[in-house]
Chains A and B, each alone.
Chain A
């Protein structure tokens, strides 16, 4: 197993831990941050599912493809999936921010526990 995979596993775990921690906060803005971090954690996981290999010269198309044969590339499917997931996550986070502002207007507080 390449060292990158272990680092990625650590990063995904750390992001999920951070996201979960933030979602459980009382401050609404932190909850939105948590939502954003969680979706990104899932994205990092998804991209790492395409398989990670050491970046050699012939793995990077732009370095090797000029003039030569097209080299093997990383799995493009997971990248397409992640793009879709990023867009969805972006939309959801934007909506969450709007709802946060709305909740602030209504309750004059960012603290979830002080909601009526």
Chain B
């Protein structure tokens, strides 16, 4: 019975697409169905997380073999603690974004397939988090991307078309590289099922495979996933795309689809290739595992992302530009602990690095969604997002200002908000790495984390001073702030505060997720890819 819960979120999201598409001639019903669909999605994810991971008698992980085909022949959906944790993030952001969309995006635009597309985005994200098959991961990525292209081009102005075109060309290139890696891995390892890959790579001689090409092929994967995650040097599509998309969708793109890139890195490099003996033969890469190559690359990309994102955000003219650059920097904060986890040989630090990245991902998803939705409310009320034309919003709407403040403070990392724990763990992972293995890379990472934290304070302060304090210009004086939107923001800030205050269960969930991420053998046991073995 537990298996059915694994596929439930996917089915619910698909039904959401169908239902909102069927009801497109009845806008009111369609909006209600869209919101109801997201609530049902959140419920399905909650049930999955409870029955598979959190309940006292939960198995910890479950697999659903689509169509009843035994692994490794069919496509397997796998829900372990890591997948469940990421799905919870997606459900929280999705629910808030749909609730806000109904008020933020104007009615005529909502009728242009906004809701079916949004649920399509949820389908792609859910599939990516659940799938246990490498090629299927590619397909879900494409589902997610096709929808995002349309969302980036949604408003149909020249800058939207330009942003969408750039986004599309870059991602087609990324997908082609991903396909190369998939094809190469299939030819090398002889399977696409991730659990089967773990099994075959752990004992290559017994399965008659030569794992040497795996090292190079995984390097291709690093490039693709870094592009999806928007890490420097693949970040240049981010500001354009996030500013072009409707703001609630930008929240979803920054909060969830970016995390899909990071999730794919964690899942493939730690769970699947974690124990593979197939490194690249380069003089400056020690060790012979795909992780040895991942560590320096991810550290360098994380450092560069924090710098580019931080300085870009400090120089941003509009709230959405500032937030778009900020999300480049914040992904750097997620990349560095993953790099620490990849570099270390200590099992506890490896797990802790992943844990830090996961908690930070949760925090960033919540805080950035709150801020993007606040930006949408400001845009809707005043007609502008330019910091120079704003001011005095704190006097006009204290609840809106309060929500923005909670988001900003969480981004900075003030206790007891969620962001505090995110920052704390990321710094702790980085410091533990520097203490156990002193080296230039670790020191540089730590120094940039400090600088990034300072830059975060600088740009959030700038947004606060520019938008909320000071004299209210005429645009703000005339502004009519929608109470329903503010209610969504207040609810979301309550979540940010609540997750910080009641952090213990969240910590245990993230800890279980990190344990699942580094434990390839448990993954194999769950999927049971023995269908292909001779009896």
User: A residues near B, CB below 8 A?
Assistant: 19, 23, 28, 31, 34-35, 38-39, 41-43, 45-46, 49-51, 77-78, 81, 84-85, 88-89, 91-92, 95-96, 99-100, 102-103, 106-107, 115-116
- Tell which of B142, B169, B180, B186 touches A23, judged by Cβ atoms closer than 8 Å: B169
Asked if A96 and B165 sit within 8 Å, CB to CB, the answer is yes
Contact of B156 among A23, A45, A84, A102 (CB under 8 A): A102
Which chain A residue lies CB-closest to B162?
Answer: A115
Interface of A is mostly: helix
Pairwise interchain contact B180-A99, C-beta atoms closer than 8 A: no
**Count of chain B residues with Cβ under 8 Å from any Cβ of A?**
30
- Say whether A45 contacts B183, CB under 8 Å: yes
Q: Which residues of A contact B177 (CB under 8 A)?
A: 42
| Top 6 closest pairs, chain A to chain B, by CB | A49-B183, A49-B187, A42-B179, A42-B176, A46-B183, A106-B158
Complex alpha-carbon distance, A28 and B173, angstroms: 16
Which residues of A have CB within 8 Å of B176? 19, 38-39, 41-42
Judge if B182 is at the interface, Cβ distance under 8 Å: yes
- Chain B proximity of A21: nearest CB distance (Å): 13
Q: Determine if B158 and A45 form an interchain contact, defined as CB atoms under 8 angstroms apart.
A: no
Given contacts A49-B183, A92-B142, A107-B158, 17 further A-B contacts (CB under 8 A): A35-B169, A41-B176, A46-B179, A49-B186, A50-B187, A81-B182, A81-B183, A85-B179, A88-B142, A92-B146, A95-B168, A96-B172, A99-B153, A99-B164, A99-B168, A102-B156, A106-B158
Q: In chain B between 152 and 196, which residues have their CB closer than 8 angstroms to a CB of chain A? A: 153, 156-158, 161-162, 164-165, 168-169, 172-173, 175-177, 179-180, 182-184, 186-187, 192
B183: chain A residues at CB < 8 Å are: 42, 45-46, 49, 78, 81
Measured CB to CB, the closest approach of chain A to B390, in angstroms, equals: 25
Interchain CB contact (< 8 A) of A103 among B162, B172, B179, B186: B162
> How many angstroms from the CA of A15 to the CA of B162 in the assembled complex?
26
Shortest distance in angstroms between B172's beta carbon and chain A's nearest beta carbon? 5
Which residues on B sit within 8 Å (CB–CB) of A91?
146
Docked pose: A107 CA to B172 CA in angstroms: 24
Binary per-residue interface labels of chain B (124-141) against chain A in the complex, 1 for a CB within 8 Å, 0 otherwise:
000000000001001100
The answer, yes or no, to whether B149 is at the interface (CB within 8 Å) is yes
A96 CA to B161 CA, complexed, in Å = 10
Q: Please give the residue numbers on chain B whose beta carbons come within 8 Å of chain A beta carbons, in ascending order.
A: 135, 138-139, 142, 146, 149-150, 153, 156-158, 161-162, 164-165, 168-169, 172-173, 175-177, 179-180, 182-184, 186-187, 192
Cβ–Cβ < 8 Å partners of A103 in chain B = 158, 161-162, 165
**In the complex, A45 Cα to B156 Cα: how many Å?**
36
- A77 to B139 alpha-carbon distance, docked (Å): 15
- Determine the chain B residues whose CB is within 8 A of the CB of A88 once the complex forms: 139, 142, 146, 175
Q: A23-B169, A85-B179 are in contact. Are A49 and B153 (CB under 8 A)?
A: no
Question: Residues of B contacting A81 with CB < 8 Å?
Answer: 135, 182-183, 186
A92 near B168 with CB under 8 A, answer: yes
Residue ID in chain A nearest B170 by CB atoms: A23
Chain A: which residue is nearest B145 at the CB level?
Answer: A92
How many residue pairs link A and B with beta carbons under 8 A? The number is 87
Q: Is the CB of B172 within 8 A of A35?
A: yes
Name the contact of B149 in the complex, choosing from A28, A39, A95, A106 (C-beta under 8 A).
A95
Contact of B182 with A46 in the complex, beta carbons under 8 Å: yes
Say which residue of B138, B150, B173, B184 sits within 8 Å of A38 (CB atoms). Answer: B173
Name the B residues within 8 Å of A31 (CB-CB): 169
Q: Would A51 and B187 count as touching, CB distance under 8 A?
A: yes
Residues of B with C-beta under 8 A to A34: 169
Contacts of B169 in A (CB 8 A): 23, 31, 34-35, 96
CB atoms of B158 and A115 under 8 A apart: yes
Known: A49-B184, A81-B135. A102 touches B161 (CB 8 A): yes
Find out whether the CB atom of A92 lies under 8 angstroms from the CB atom of B172: yes
Within 8 Å CB of B135, what residues of A?
Answer: 81, 84
Residue of B150, B169, B192 contacting most chain A CB atoms (<10 Å): B169
CA distance A41 to B172 in the complex (A): 12
Complex CA gap A101/B157 in Å reads: 13
**Most B-side CB within 10 Å, residue of A43, A50, A77, A92:** A92
Shortest distance in angstroms between A81's beta carbon and chain B's nearest beta carbon? 6
Bound Cα distance A8, B497 (Å): 58
Q: Contact: B168 with A84, CB < 8 Å?
A: no
Q: Report the nearest B residue to A100, measured CB to CB.
A: B165
Q: How far is the CA of A115 from the CA of B192 in the complex (A)?
A: 43
Write out the residue numbers on chain A whose beta carbons fall within 8 Å of the beta carbon of B149: 92, 95
- Per the bound structure, the CA–CA distance linking A64 and B153 in Å amounts to 52
- Bound-state CA distance A6–B153 (Å) is 42
The answer for the CA separation of A31 and B165 in the assembled complex, in Å, is 10
CA distance A23 to B192 in the complex (A): 30
Contact call B173/A23, Cβ cutoff below 8 A: yes
User: In the complex, which residues of chain B have a beta carbon less than 8 angstroms from the beta carbon of A45?
Assistant: 179-180, 183
Chain A hits for B164, CB < 8 A: 99
Q: Give A19's nearest chain B residue, CB to CB.
A: B176
Cα(A38)–Cα(B146), bound, Å:
17
Give B73 Cβ to nearest chain A Cβ, in Å: 9
Nearest B residue (CB) for A85: B179
Pair B158/A116 contact, Cβ less than 8 Å: yes
